[in-house]
């Protein structure tokens, strides 16, 4: 891995370069995707233009557009009748998964459910003073759509991390869209995860067209109120385009980890955690104040890569999104980490708990040698749907509370209304809204 010393470069420019590479909108489009777009649209167009064309087509042609783009981009031939997963397909999926997988899935489900119930917001007590009554109600969103990536990898954990918070919130209907293989089938692990977490309907569709289907609705796929779940750059662009028709969780880019480590840290553990992010593929960054540790971690990464079955993918990620930064001291290292605002941050430090309050921007913080990111990915409890690309400065990880709407309730007695009438009338008239003022005056007669 490349090692950079802040003493020999501008740390601010270094961080800006890192953030550009991690932006969800700076990802290089694979040549295969470019070629498919040219074939479908008859010309080379920008990613955002292709997204807009697909969304508009789905809005206008519904299921016909879904089937067309599923065939054109994913090579999957489906009919309207088999867009939705049937009960017998789910039952077959249960026969295909191994008992240890189901046991692990249920353990993760229990942990996630427990945590989401623990953090679920509860309505505060009513605020009642002198004839006024104010209260706040929490109401669940009615319909939620989950996007679960497919393709080369299958992510049953994403089903858990999206569906369980929605279910705990009390969402009435949860649908899931996920890309099928060329054989028109969905990996059994995803189907089992959906059934275990109470997903109501599953559809064999992915990509931009799946986002459009959930945002606008088709004859086969119902319109939802909120779309959650990660995807590639096209899915992310599509979510940005449909925001307003529906709510979305966030705009996610490549997965990422920043590891803050001092001279006491174990280079073997750090290398293993860097590689676990790199194989997503994703960004893997170590920030340390120890030149010795930096060099040992770099050597350990090469050693572990040689034995890793996903080494080709991991190496490619490290070449483009991997970096070791040697800061002048721990204070500077923490500052750089906060500027990056990563999805995951590990504190592999002598006193991690003492420094956790210094981390201002991160999706999830992992403390100490025994808390790898993989725990958060699968079983700890908080959702692994987290802000990336520096968006942890203003986004948070997905929780049960993202599926709750806040409704204010206001009640005034006539005496209480008289007590504030002049102020309301004054403010309304100052804003040039005489009917507002009149709506108060008529109640004073």
Map out the domains of the chain as residue ranges.
Answer: 3-25+254-381, 80-248, 414-444
Region of 130 (left: φ > 0; alpha: ψ -120 to 50; beta: rest) is: left
Strand, coil or helix: what is 180? coil
33-42, 108-117, 184-193, 287-296: least confident range? 33-42
Cβ(233)–Cβ(47) under 8 Å?
Answer: yes
Evaluated on CA atoms 107, 111, 114, 116, the torsion sign reads negative
Please report the pLDDT score of residue 35 as a whole number: 78
Percent of the chain with pLDDT over 70: 98
Residue with tokens 């010393």: 5
pTM score, two decimals?
0.92
Please report the pLDDT score of residue 42 as a whole number: 79
What CA dihedral angle connects 264, 269, 271 and 276, to 10 degrees? -140
Answer yes or no: same fold for 3-25+254-381 and 80-248: yes
For residue 423, give the H/E element and its range. Answer: helix 414-430
Please report the pLDDT score of residue 247 as a whole number: 97
Per-residue pLDDT averaged across 287-292, rounded? Answer: 95
CA 251 – CA 226 distance, rounded (Å): 13
pLDDT tens for each residue of 270-282: 999 999 998 888 8
Per-residue pLDDT averaged across 370-397, rounded? Answer: 93
Please report the pLDDT score of residue 185 as a whole number: 92
Per-residue pLDDT averaged across 414-438, rounded? Answer: 97
**Which pLDDT band, with edges at 50, 70 and 90, does 26 fall under?**
low
The closest of 197, 158, 195 to 178, measured between CA atoms, is: 158
Please report the pLDDT score of residue 153 as a whole number: 65
Active site residues: 343-344
Please report the pLDDT score of residue 366 as a whole number: 97
Residue bearing the bigger pLDDT, 243 or 22 = 243
pLDDT tens for each residue of 92-108: 999 999 999 999 999 99
Residue 83 has pLDDT above 80, yes or no: yes
CA 143 – CA 423 distance, rounded (Å): 41
Residue bearing the bigger pLDDT, 255 or 191 = 191
Pick the CATH number of 80-248 from 3.40.50.1980, 3.90.940.20, 3.40.640.10, 3.40.50.1370: 3.40.50.1980
What would the DSSP string read from start to end of 218-280?
A: -SSS---SEEE----HHHHHHHHHHBTTBEES----SEEEEEEE-TTS-HHHHHHHHHHHHTT
pLDDT tens for each residue of 339-359: 999 999 999 999 999 899 999
CA 231 – CA 418 distance, rounded (Å): 55
Judged on CB neighbours under 10 Å (0-12, 13-18, 19+), 297 is buried
**Which pLDDT band, with edges at 50, 70 and 90, does 233 fall under?**
confident
CATH top-level class of 3-25+254-381? alpha beta
Per-residue pLDDT averaged across 308-333, rounded? Answer: 90
Provide the mean pLDDT of the chain: 92
What Å distances lie between residue 310 and 78, 211, 304, CA to CA? 32, 30, 11
**Which pLDDT band, with edges at 50, 70 and 90, does 127 fall under?**
very high
């Amino acid at each position: 891995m490349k090692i950079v010393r802040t003493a020999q470069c501008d740390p601010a420019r270094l961080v800006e370069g890192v953030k550009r590479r991690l932006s969800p909108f700076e990802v290089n489009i694979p040549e295969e995707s470019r070629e498919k777009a040219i074939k479908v649209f008859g010309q080379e167009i920008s990613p955002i233009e292709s997204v807009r064309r697909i969304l508009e087509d789905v809005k206008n042609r519904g299921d016909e557009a879904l089937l067309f783009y599923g065939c054109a981009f994913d090579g999957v031939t489906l009919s309207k009748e088999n867009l939705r997963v049937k009960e017998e397909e789910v039952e077959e999926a249960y026969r295909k998964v191994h008992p240890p997988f189901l046991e692990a899935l249920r353990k993760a489900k229990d942990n996630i459910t427990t945590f989401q119930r623990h953090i679920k917001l509860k309505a505060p007590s009513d605020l009642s003073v002198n004839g006024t009554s104010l209260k706040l109600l929490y109401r669940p969103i009615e319909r939620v759509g989950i996007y679960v990536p497919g393709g080369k990898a299958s992510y049953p954990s994403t089903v858990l991390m999206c569906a369980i918070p929605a279910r705990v919130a009390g969402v009435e209907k949860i649908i899931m869209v996920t890309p099928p293989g060329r054989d028109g089938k969905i990996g059994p692990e995803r189907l089992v995860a959906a059934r275990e977490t109470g997903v109501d309907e599953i559809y064999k569709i992915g990509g931009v067209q799946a986002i459009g289907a959930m945002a606008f609705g088709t004859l086969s796929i119902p319109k939802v109120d909120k779309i959650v779940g990660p995807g590639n750059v096209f899915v992310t662009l599509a979510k940005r385009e449909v925001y307003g028709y529906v709510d979305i969780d966030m705009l996610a880019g490549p997965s990422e980890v920043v590891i803050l480590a001092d001279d006491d840290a174990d280079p073997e553990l750090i290398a293993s955690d860097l590689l676990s992010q790199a194989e997503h593929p994703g960004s893997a960054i170590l920030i340390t104040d120890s030149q010795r540790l930096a060099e040992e971690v770099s050597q350990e990464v090469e050693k572990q890569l040689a034995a890793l079955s996903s080494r080709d993918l991991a190496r490619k990620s490290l070449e483009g999104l991997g970096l070791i930064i040697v800061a002048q001291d721990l204070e500077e290292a923490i500052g750089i980490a906060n500027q990056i605002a990563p999805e995951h941050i590990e504190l592999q430090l002598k006193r991690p708990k003492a420094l956790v309050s210094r981390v201002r921007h991160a999706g999830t913080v992992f403390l100490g040698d025994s808390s790898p990111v993989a725990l958060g990915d699968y079983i700890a409890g908080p959702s692994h749907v987290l802000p990336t690309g520096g968006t942890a400065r203003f986004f948070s990880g997905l929780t049960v509370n993202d599926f709750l709407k806040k409704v204010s309730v206001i009640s005034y007695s006539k005496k209480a209304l008289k007590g504030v009438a002049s102020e309301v009338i004054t403010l309304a008239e100052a804003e040039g809204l005489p009917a507002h003022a009149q709506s108060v005056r008529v109640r004073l007669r």
